[in-house]
Amino acid sequence: KKSYKITLLPGDGIGPEVVSVAKDVLLLTGSIHGIKLEFQEKLLGGAALDATGVPLPDDTLSVAKQSDAVLLGAIGGYKWDKNEKHLKPETGLLQLREGLRVFANLRPATVFPQLVDASTLKREIAEGVDLMVVRELTGGIYFGKPRGFGTNENGEETGFNTEIYAAHEIDRIARVAFNIARKRGGKLCSVDKANVLEASMFWRKRVVELAQEYPDVELSHMYVDNAAMQLVRYPKQFDTIVTNNIFGDILSDEASMITGSIGMLPSASLGDSGPGLFEPIHGSAPDIAGQDKANPFATVLSAAMLLKYGLGEVEAAERIESAVLETLNRGFRTADIYSTGTKLVGCKQLGEEILKSV
């Protein structure tokens, strides 16, 4: 019997509620597929700050590193918003990504047929959108040095950061993206600002060179400003998008909002080896925390990504995906995706309905 160690990082706000549902779904699915899952729960973000004074305790990182995959709920909240940078919940997340070396962030934006009307886009534009943003996650301006505060030649204060990519950083994220595009619709759009930025020119050059190894993938390039427009104009033109850390941050959020139901969207962050990090793309929603109102679908779908991309358990992953679709078809909805004619339930009950569909 196969056995895996999973680190659970419930985090803040609604994090614990949605992770608890996903854990149950993983356990049941695992038992059906003969997969033994051992869970260890650790602190991250605001919860870790309150308990230990730092947003990513050493213990959390080392347990995560020794596990086979990490499932995260959400982090952050008003309470810690004014903290200094090294004491922000977000800093814990950035440290975790860096510590796990998960350089490839996979963010699907899928419009579920049952939820088309939740999109602010017209039905004919939103219907059938199914794209994947592959975002570089451990480089670029998020981590580039030098960074900080300084004084310029006129004695004036400044704030600065460095956008920098080395060859291997571009190559490895491009490879991930080409491979994903190959398994999806065979189209990869690389997004950059190569008409202005040297970092982007270099990015484009490496991507073009690598493309030779993937003759079956149709590669295109788009400037980031145009990509931000095209996502609104005609999102169905996209299959797989690959881009740097900051552009990926912006475009993947835009793409997810286009679906109209960010409570449905999972993500995976993968490295070359070692455990992947799986988390819903939504935030910690402190305003509804503890009220049994959270939508657990995104975390459950993150658990499916964990099985597929993290453990290679594709069948078990597909069982979870089907269970989610079936639960939607059976009409169950949390408040964020509710519409007349469907059945409004809380986080826990939705979890039970998903279990019935597993």
Ligand X SMILES: CC(C)[C@H](C(=O)O)[C@@H](O)C(=O)O
Contact partner at residue 78 from a copy of itself, ligand X, none, CB < 5 to 8 Å by partner kind: none
Query: Is residue 196 at the binding interface for a copy of itself, with CB under 8 A as the rule?
Result: yes
Q: Does 292 qualify as catalytic in the annotation?
A: no
Q: Does 165 qualify as catalytic in the annotation?
A: no
Query: Is residue 196 at the binding interface for ligand X, with CB under 6 A as the rule?
Result: yes
User: Could you tell me if 114 and 238 are in contact, meaning their C-beta atoms sit under 8 angstroms apart?
Assistant: no
Rounded to the nearest whole angstrom, what is the least distance from the CB of residue 19 to ligand X in the complex? 16
Amino acid identity, position 39: F
Query: Is residue 44 at the binding interface for ligand X, with CB under 6 A as the rule?
Result: no
Cβ closer to ligand X: 90 or 130? 90
Question: If DSSP codes are grouped into helix, strand and coil, which group holds residue 334?
Answer: coil
Helix axes 347-357, 314-329, angle to 10 degrees: 120
Query: Is residue 151 at the binding interface for ligand X, with CB under 6 A as the rule?
Result: no
Query: Is residue 225 at the binding interface for ligand X, with CB under 6 A as the rule?
Result: yes
User: Could you tell me if 165 and 202 are in contact, meaning their C-beta atoms sit under 8 angstroms apart?
Assistant: yes
Q: Which of 12, 23, 88, 142 is catalytic?
A: 142
User: Could you tell me if 122 and 235 are in contact, meaning their C-beta atoms sit under 8 angstroms apart?
Assistant: no
Segment holding 330, helix H or strand E: none
Q: Does 225 qualify as catalytic in the annotation?
A: yes
Cβ closer to ligand X: 94 or 355? 94
Q: Does 117 qualify as catalytic in the annotation?
A: no
Residue 29: name the closest of 4, 48, 52 by CA: 4
Stretch that binds a copy of itself, among 25-33, 65-73, 143-151, 312-320 (CB under 8 A): 143-151
Q: What is the DSSP letter of 213?
A: T
55 Cβ contact list (under 8 Å, min separation 6): 44, 45, 46, 48, 49, 75, 87, 88, 89, 90, 91, 92, 93, 95
User: Could you tell me if 171 and 242 are in contact, meaning their C-beta atoms sit under 8 angstroms apart?
Assistant: no
Q: Does 214 qualify as catalytic in the annotation?
A: no
Per CB under 8 A, the list member of 4, 103, 112, 142 interacting with a copy of itself is 142
Rounded to the nearest whole angstrom, what is the least distance from the CB of residue 224 to a copy of itself in the complex? 6
Distance CA 115, CA 221 (A): 31
Number of residues that bind ligand X (CB under 6 A): 7
Stretch that binds a copy of itself, among 41-49, 195-203, 293-301, 324-332 (CB under 8 A): 195-203
Rounded to the nearest whole angstrom, what is the least distance from the CB of residue 196 to ligand X in the complex? 5
Query: Is residue 165 at the binding interface for a copy of itself, with CB under 8 A as the rule?
Result: yes
Distance CA 23, CA 8 (A): 8
Q: Which of 12, 192, 239, 249 is catalytic?
A: 249
Site string for a copy of itself, 221-260 (x = CB under 8 A): ---xxx-xxxxxxx-----------xx-xxxxxx-xxx--
User: Could you tell me if 294 and 285 are in contact, meaning their C-beta atoms sit under 8 angstroms apart?
Assistant: yes
Start-to-end Cα distance in the chain:
20
DSSP letter string over 90-114?
HHHHHHHHHHHT--EEEEEEE--GG
Question: If DSSP codes are grouped into helix, strand and coil, which group holds residue 7?
Answer: strand
Rounded to the nearest whole angstrom, what is the least distance from the CB of residue 10 to ligand X in the complex? 16
Stretch that binds ligand X, among 14-22, 48-56, 86-94, 258-266 (CB under 6 A): 86-94
Query: Is residue 195 at the binding interface for ligand X, with CB under 6 A as the rule?
Result: yes
Distance CA 94, CA 332 (A): 35
Q: Which of 225, 234, 272, 343 is catalytic?
A: 225
User: Could you tell me if 241 and 191 are in contact, meaning their C-beta atoms sit under 8 angstroms apart?
Assistant: yes
Enumerate the active-site residues. Answer: 142, 193, 225, 249, 253
Interface with ligand X (CB under 6 A):
90, 93-94, 195-196, 225, 249
Interface with a copy of itself (CB under 8 A):
85, 88, 90, 94, 120-122, 125, 141-142, 144, 147-149, 152, 154, 156-168, 193, 195-203, 224-226, 228-234, 246-247, 249-254, 256-258, 262
